[in-house]
Structure 1
C-alpha cells in the first residue's frame, strides 16, 4: 500500500524568490514623522481612507540595519521606529511589543537592546500629554535555551492615543540579518526597511507577498576595523582595518492594507508582504569564499549526526531487541511488523509536546524508559524500533501547515518544525506519526499536508504531501416519516470522511459518546429528540467510522408544513464572506459531500411546492453542486451533492468560488411546502 507521497521537481509556492536587480535612482522620500514631534493636529483623524474600519493604524514603521565594524567584532545593528494611532479599544493590542534576542557564544556576544524609548501621547484639553514607558515595565522571558523575548506594553493607552516606540538591537552573528514585515494585523501608511550589506556577504533575498514594494540600492565605501578567523587558522584571529564596498538597499511601501485571516488559510506567514535574507556565502578579507547556505546533503548530515536527532537512532539501542522481538513475534510480513510496532509506540507512550523537529532527550533509551516524549522523540523511537526489526526506516522532516512552507531550492532548517516516520518495504512506502494516539497506520495528520518535505535517506530526496491527494467524502442518509399529526420521526446515518472521523474520535475520547450525540442532536435540529445512538468502527483507526441515531421532531396539526430538508447538513453561511481576497484559498482536502433524504407522507398531506432542481459547475471541472428533489403521491426524495475537485484556488479564482458557495447557501435554504388535504 502506497501513501499519498508525490515526488515533484517543481512546485509553485506563495513565496517568491527573486534575484537582486538594479532600480532607477530616485530622490529619496523623507519620513514625515520625527520621534517626539506630536501635535494636536495629529489627533484629528478618526478614520483613515486606507481602512475605515481599522481599530488602529500604523502611521510609520521604519527599520534600519547596518554592519558596525568598529567595535572589535563585526556587529549587526538594527534600529526601529514606529508610530501608531490607536482608534478603538479593539486596537489596544497595537501597544504590545516584543523584541526577540538570541544568546551568543559568550555573555559579551549575546544580543542586546539599547536606546529603548516608548511614549504614549494623549490630547487633553487641547494639549498633548506624554506618558513614558518605565524601564520597570520591560520584562524578559526565556523562550528556549538560545532565545529570549523582551516585551513591554505602552502605558496609559486610550481610544485616540498615539504611541511611538524606538529601539536598537545589537547582534554579533553576521549571518543573522533581520528581515522585515511590511504588513500585519493593522494597515500601514508608511512601511520602510533600509539595509546596508558589505561586499563580503552574499545574501539570497526571499521576497513574498502580493503588493508592490519599491526598492532601490546604491553603493558606497566604508571603513571597517574588526577581528576575524582566517581560513585554516584553527581558532587564531586577525584584526583587519580596511575599506569595503557597501550596498545600501531601501524597500518602501505606502498604504499597505491589513492582512486578516480568512477561512481556509494555512498560515498568514505564507502570504504576508515581507522580505527575508539567507546568507548564501561569505568571502573573508583574505579572499576565501565559504558556502554558508550548504546543501541538502549537508543539512541531512548535520541532523543525522546530532545527538538530539539521528545519532540516537542506532546508537546503543540493544535494549530494544527484547520488546521488538516480542511485539513482532508471529507477524506474517513486514507490513504487519510495522503495524504492530507503530501501535505499540502509539498506545504505550504519551506525547508531551506536538510539532517538534528535534528531541529534548539525548537518547531514545531515555524516551523509552520514561514512556513519554515530544512528537519527534516518539517518531524517532519508532524509526529505531523498525530498524531493530530489520526494516528500512528513515525520518522525514517537514513544516506543518500553520508553520509555513519550506523551499525546495534552499536547505533552510529553521523552516522545518516536524518529524515523522517513513518505511520502505520493497515497492511499498508507508508514512506514520506515532505521536497521535487516534491516527491510523499509514495516515498523517492534516497539518502535515503542506507541500515540500525531505526524506532523510542518503540522497535526501524531496517528497510532497499535498492537500489534493486527500479525498474527504461524507455520505449522509436520512429516512423519515411524517405522521398525520405533523410529527416527523426517522433515522439518521452518516459515514464521515477519514479526517472528520478522526475529529469525532478525539471528541468522544475527550467528552464521551453521550456528550457527542447530545451535540449531534442539536446540530441535526434544535428541537430534535434522539435515541438509539450508535457508533461503528470507533476503534478501527485505519478506516472512517459510522454514526447513527433515531430522531423525532415535534410538529403540529397545521394546514401547511414548511420543511428545510437538509437536516444537520445545510450550508448556512458562505465560508468566503470577504468581498476580496489577495492570497490563495487553501482547503485541507478535496470535498465530496453527499446527502440523501427519503420522506414518507401520510394520506392527509400532499406536496404543494418543491424547490427546483439545480446543477451548477465551478469552472467546468473544479467543482459541482447538484440539488435533485422529486415527489410523487406519498413520498419525496432529495439528493444534494457538493464536490470540490481542487483544494487550492488562486486569488483571481476567488470570486468564482465565492459565487459558487453563495448559490449553495441560497439553494439549501429553500423549503419544501406540504399542504393538508381538504
Structure 2
C-alpha cells in the first residue's frame, strides 16, 4: 500500500509539472503544439522523458545500457539537441559498441503531426586511438519539434558501472534510471548534487546470473527517479559544474568470484598511505634532506626567528624556481627541478618541503583538487581525484598553508585555484586525514575619496587599498607594466582625468596594494545645479546573479569587504540640494551587510559611506534569492545614486 501511494503521488505531481506534455516516449499532438515551459521561460529545450536501464547480460556478461530520450525544442539555440554524440572507449583487448540506434523528429504541418525517421546515412563514426565517437543527426529539427531517440551501448569495462546524469543544460520533467547488479559485484554508489531522489526502490531478482557447475548470483534491482529537475546553468561564483550536477556514479569495490575468491579493487586510506609513502614520484622524495644539502645560503640558515626563517626559505624558492604550469603527480623529480630551475607544482612544493624540513620545520604535504577539477570523494580514496599539492606547517602555534608557485602571494596564502574546501593531509608516520582549507580573515577593496569644488569642477585624490585576494591582480598588473596599469585606470572611466598616480610601499610579497590617484571631475551642470554620481569607482556594474533558480552553492572562495567613502568640500559657493536616502540591509543569519549613508554637516561638507560585507566564503543555494535581491540593490545604488548640489 505504501508503494502504491508513493507511485500515485508521483504520477499526480508529474501531471502537475508536465502541464500538457506527456511524460513517456510516445509523442502526442499536444507535445508538438506546446510552445513554452512555464517553469523556465529561458529554456532552449525541455527533456520531457529520460530513461536508462543498465544490466549485466546473462549470456555474454557484458554491461548493457539502454537509453531513451524525448525532447521538446523551444528556441533556436536548442536545435543542436538533435545532434547526438556517444563516446565508446577502446581497451587493449576489447572495445565498447553501440546497437539499435533509432530516432525520429515530430513537427506540426497544416495542423497535423508529421514524423520523420532517422536514416542510417545520418549516423557517423570518428575513430581515435582511445575511443570511437558515434554521432547521429536527427532530421528536420526546428523550433517546436519534438525529437526522440534511443540506443544501447555494450561494454566489458565494468570497473565503473554506467553513470547516470539526471541533470544537464535543459530542464528535465522526468528522469529514470534502472540498474541490475549481481551480488558478486560490490560497487560504491555515489549520488552527486543537492537534489533528492523522488523514487529509490530496491528489489531482489534471484539467480539472475548462472554459470557452469551450479554457480549463480542474485541481482539487486534498483529504480531511481528524479522529477522536475532544473537546468544546470553556469553562473559567477562557483567551481566546476561536476561538483553540483545531479547524477549517480559507481566505483567497483570488489568482485567475489564463483570459486570463492575475492578480488579487492577499491583501496582504503591505509592502503593509499602505504602506497604513497613508497611511491618514487611522491613519498620517496619527501623529507629527504640529502636532496637539498648546502642549497640554502648561510645567511638564511642563520636566521633565529622561526617565522622569519620560514618566510625567507619560501621566498628563496619563489625567486629561484618557476612553476611550468603542470600539476601531474607523475615523473616528479626534485633533482630535475634543481637542474632546470622550473618544474611542476609537485616538484616545487616538495622542494619547499625538503628545505623547511632540513631546517627543523614539521611540514606535511596536502593533496588537493583545484576548483576547476571538482571536489575529491571523501567516502573512499580515488587518487585520480587529486591534481595538486600544497603544504601545511605550524609555526609558533599557528597553521600555514603554502604553495610556492605564485610570486604575488604572501606567506600563508594559497592561489585562488586552490580554494576548494578541503584536502588530504599525508602524515606517513601516523595516518592521513582530511584538512579544511579556509582562508583566514577578509579580503578588502577600499577607496577613500576626498574632493574640493573649484571652477565648476571637482579636484582631489583617491586613496585605494587592496588586501588578500583583491590585491593579487593589481600587484601583478602594476609590476609587469606600470604604464599600462595606469592607462587601464584612465581608460576604464571616462568621467574623470587622472593628474597623478602613485603606488605606496609596493612589495609583491605583502598581502596588500596601496595607491593614490590625483584627479579632476567635470560634473553635469544644468543651470545652477550640479549632478554628481559619487561612485568614481564601482565595485559592481551589474548584478552577477541572473538565474531564475540556482541549485548549487554560491562560492566566493573567501570572505570579502568592499568599502567606499567620500568627503566633498563644498566651500562657500555650494549647498546641498538633494541627497539620497540611507540604506541598511542584511543577509539572513547576519551573513552579510550593506550600508549606505550620506550626511551633510554645517561646515559645508558632505560625507558618504558605503560598505558591502560578505561574512561567508560559500553560501548555500537557499541564500540565492536573498543574494540576488541584495546585489540588485547594491548595483542600483552604485549606478544610479545622484547627489544634487546648488550654486
Smaller-chain TM-score bracket: 0.7 to 0.9
- 8 Å Cα contact 1:119-1:133 kept in structure 2: no
| Equivalent residue, structure 1, for 2:44 | 55
- Aligned positions of 1:231-250 closer than 5 A: 242-250=215-223
Correspondence for 2:456 among 451, 471, 486: 486
The range that moved more, 545-554 or 121-130, is 121-130
Deviation at 1:167, TM superposition (A): 4.0
Correspondence for 2:446 among 475, 480, 494: 475
> In 2, Cα distance between the equivalents of 1:305 and 1:60?
50
| Equivalent residue, structure 1, for 2:81 | 94
Deviation at 1:434, TM superposition (A): 1.9
| Equivalent residue, structure 2, for 1:352 | 324
| Equivalent residue, structure 2, for 1:154 | 137
- 8 Å Cα contact 2:203-2:221 kept in structure 1: yes
- 8 Å Cα contact 2:272-2:381 kept in structure 1: yes
> In 1, Cα distance between the equivalents of 2:595 and 2:59?
71
| Equivalent residue, structure 2, for 1:452 | 422
- Aligned positions of 1:191-202 closer than 5 A: 191-202=175-186
The range that moved more, 457-466 or 664-673, is 664-673
Correspondence for 1:179 among 154, 163, 173: 163
Deviation at 1:137, TM superposition (A): 4.1
| Equivalent residue, structure 1, for 2:605 | 635
Deviation at 1:581, TM superposition (A): 3.5
* Cα deviations by residue, 1:165-190 (Å, 9 ceiling, x for unpaired): 54444444443112211011111233
> In 1, Cα distance between the equivalents of 2:213 and 2:323?
52
Instruction: Tell me whether 1:263 sits opposite 2:252 in the alignment.
Output: no
Deviation at 1:447, TM superposition (A): 3.0
- 8 Å Cα contact 2:90-2:96 kept in structure 1: no
Residues 223 and 263 of structure 1: CA distance in aligned 2, closer, same or farther (over 3 Å): closer
> In 2, Cα distance between the equivalents of 1:557 and 1:337?
59
Deviation at 1:477, TM superposition (A): 0.5
- Aligned positions of 1:106-117 closer than 5 A: 107-109=92-94, 111-115=95-99, 117=101
Correspondence for 2:629 among 659, 662, 668: 659
Deviation at 1:542, TM superposition (A): 2.9
Instruction: Tell me whether 1:218 sits opposite 2:203 in the alignment.
Output: yes
Deviation at 1:553, TM superposition (A): 1.6
Kindly tell me the number of residue pairs found equivalent between the two proteins. 625
Deviation at 1:151, TM superposition (A): 6.0
- 8 Å Cα contact 2:524-2:531 kept in structure 1: no
Residues 435 and 254 of structure 1: CA distance in aligned 2, closer, same or farther (over 3 Å): same
Deviation at 1:225, TM superposition (A): 5.8
- 8 Å Cα contact 2:105-2:146 kept in structure 1: yes
Taking CA–CA contacts closer than 8 Å with sequence separation of 6 or more, which of the two structures ends up with the larger relative contact order? 1
Correspondence for 1:380 among 347, 350, 356: 350
Correspondence for 2:33 among 27, 44, 62: 44
Residues 366 and 43 of structure 1: CA distance in aligned 2, closer, same or farther (over 3 Å): farther
> In 2, Cα distance between the equivalents of 1:101 and 1:344?
49
Correspondence for 2:575 among 590, 597, 606: 606
Correspondence for 1:548 among 516, 525, 528: 516
* Cα deviations by residue, 1:118-151 (Å, 9 ceiling, x for unpaired): 7574759775444547588433556xxxx65736
> In 1, Cα distance between the equivalents of 2:553 and 2:174?
25
Residues 134 and 544 of structure 1: CA distance in aligned 2, closer, same or farther (over 3 Å): farther
* Cα deviations by residue, 1:623-652 (Å, 9 ceiling, x for unpaired): 322222222343211112222222333333
* Cα deviations by residue, 1:186-234 (Å, 9 ceiling, x for unpaired): 11233221111111233343224225432222211345467xxxxxxxx
| Equivalent residue, structure 1, for 2:643 | 672
| Equivalent residue, structure 2, for 1:431 | 401
| Equivalent residue, structure 2, for 1:495 | 465
Instruction: Tell me whether 1:79 sits opposite 2:62 in the alignment.
Output: no
- 8 Å Cα contact 2:44-2:78 kept in structure 1: yes
- Aligned positions of 1:127-142 closer than 5 A: 127-130=114-117, 132=119, 137-140=124-127
- Aligned positions of 1:577-596 closer than 5 A: 577-596=546-565
Deviation at 1:416, TM superposition (A): 2.7
> In 2, Cα distance between the equivalents of 1:245 and 1:620?
51
Unpaired stretches in structure 1, ≥5 consecutive residues: 1-20, 227-238
Residues 622 and 141 of structure 1: CA distance in aligned 2, closer, same or farther (over 3 Å): same
- 8 Å Cα contact 2:540-2:635 kept in structure 1: yes
> In 2, Cα distance between the equivalents of 1:92 and 1:33?
19
| Equivalent residue, structure 1, for 2:226 | 253
- 8 Å Cα contact 1:606-1:633 kept in structure 2: no
Deviation at 1:598, TM superposition (A): 1.1
Residues 452 and 556 of structure 1: CA distance in aligned 2, closer, same or farther (over 3 Å): closer
Deviation at 1:499, TM superposition (A): 0.6
> In 2, Cα distance between the equivalents of 1:403 and 1:488?
49
SS in 2 for 1:269: helix
Residues 135 and 417 of structure 1: CA distance in aligned 2, closer, same or farther (over 3 Å): farther
- 8 Å Cα contact 1:453-1:464 kept in structure 2: yes
Residues 99 and 395 of structure 1: CA distance in aligned 2, closer, same or farther (over 3 Å): farther
User: TM-score under structure 2 normalisation?
Assistant: 0.85
> In 2, Cα distance between the equivalents of 1:550 and 1:118?
69
